[in-house]
Amino acid sequence: MDPERYRGELVAYCYRMVGSFHEAEDLVQETMLRAWKARDRYDPTRASVRTWLYRIATNVCLSALEGRARRPLPSGLVAAGDDPGAPLTPAFDVPWLQPFPDARSDLGVRADIRLALVAAMQILPPRQRAVLVLREVLEFSAAEVAAQLGTTVPAVNSALQRARAAVAEANEVDEADEPDDPKTRAVIERYVRAFEAADVPALVRLLTEDAVLEMPPVPLWYRGRRDYGLFMRRVFTMRGTGWATSRLTANGQPALAAYAPEPGGGHRLHSLQVLTVTGGRVARNVTFSDPRVFKAFDLPGRISSDGSRLAR
């Protein structure tokens, strides 16, 4: 029995449940500890090691979620803003949804971890969330999920039906282009060039008509090319031109770390932007500026003009 071989997929599962990569890692560590303590009671005739571990992880997640508010994005918390000049006051008391660093997981665990989908899952009661992920993403049978949750097959099927309906209603972007698709890469390349040059008209031309821009931990977001462009113009006016970026992926989506120019030379980390590309255009940009997110992605706080890492 080797529980460690399942650690990566368990982290992805717990992330879908709680919406935080750091917390998911902690919950998987707790899962492994409980499995170690209960190893003498494991019966291979009743369940595979993987099924047994998911049962433990599910219980760990459900316990952690008891009495806790969901992790939202700004678009799931407040109405869209209509003033691109509104104050950018962070709300660190809100447990914001966080992105998932793809570089710290195996490719096989990233299915159905798209940011908008995970955000939609957060509206579900925790047990419905578990049913949806276990059945739809991980493809456990209804009987296996019933055993994991200590309930019945009809109850699992009913919960799955309700969860599907709620997520379908909340998930605005049904289809997202794959980050490795050549057309997606070309769009991101053009977006990066426009962003680094602070070329707002070029950025706007790459957007869908109702593109969304949101920026946790600031409880503010915008919809539409006009407000997106006005806000970006404000950012470049405040922070200057000559930005630098580093490309990566998060939640199975294209992402970029954005570095603002410093007066004395070099660039300082400003944000991590997770992009949704659909139909060859950018449909959503979730811009994270929380230092805890930067830590999860191991992003250098400062880089030189040639892109090399500098001391913080």
CA distances to 3, 31, 186 from 277, rounded to whole Å, are: 36, 35, 11
- Long-range CB contact pairs, 60-63, < 8 A, 24+: 60/14, 60/27, 60/30, 60/31, 60/34, 61/14, 61/17, 61/18, 61/27, 61/126, 61/130, 62/126, 62/127, 62/130
Q: How far apart are CA 100 and CA 253, in angstroms?
A: 10
Q: Is the pLDDT of residue 310 over 70?
A: no
- Looking at residue 121, what is its pLDDT? 94
Nearest CA to 275 among 191, 216, 182, 196? 191
Question: Tens digits of per-residue pLDDT, 193-226?
Answer: 999 999 999 999 999 999 999 999 999 999 999 9
Q: Is the pLDDT of residue 312 over 70?
A: no
- Looking at residue 179, what is its pLDDT? 84
Band (156; pLDDT cuts 50, 70, 90): very high
Mean pLDDT of all residues in 128-144: 94
- Looking at residue 172, what is its pLDDT? 63
The CATH code belonging to domain 1-68 is 1.10.1740
- Looking at residue 226, what is its pLDDT? 96
Mean pLDDT of all residues in 78-86: 93
Please, which residues have CB within 8 angstroms of residue 281's CB and are 6 or more apart in sequence? 187, 206, 207, 208, 211
Q: Say what the pTM is.
A: 0.92
The CATH code belonging to domain 182-310 is 3.10.450.50
Residues of the chain with CATH 1.10.1740: 1-68
Question: Tens digits of per-residue pLDDT, 253-288?
Answer: 999 999 999 988 899 999 999 999 999 999 999 999
Residues of the chain with CATH 3.10.450.50: 182-310
Range of lowest pLDDT (69-78, 161-170, 300-309): 300-309
% of the chain residues with pLDDT over 70 = 95
Share the mean pLDDT of the chain: 92
Q: Is the pLDDT of residue 139 over 80?
A: yes
- Looking at residue 3, what is its pLDDT? 82
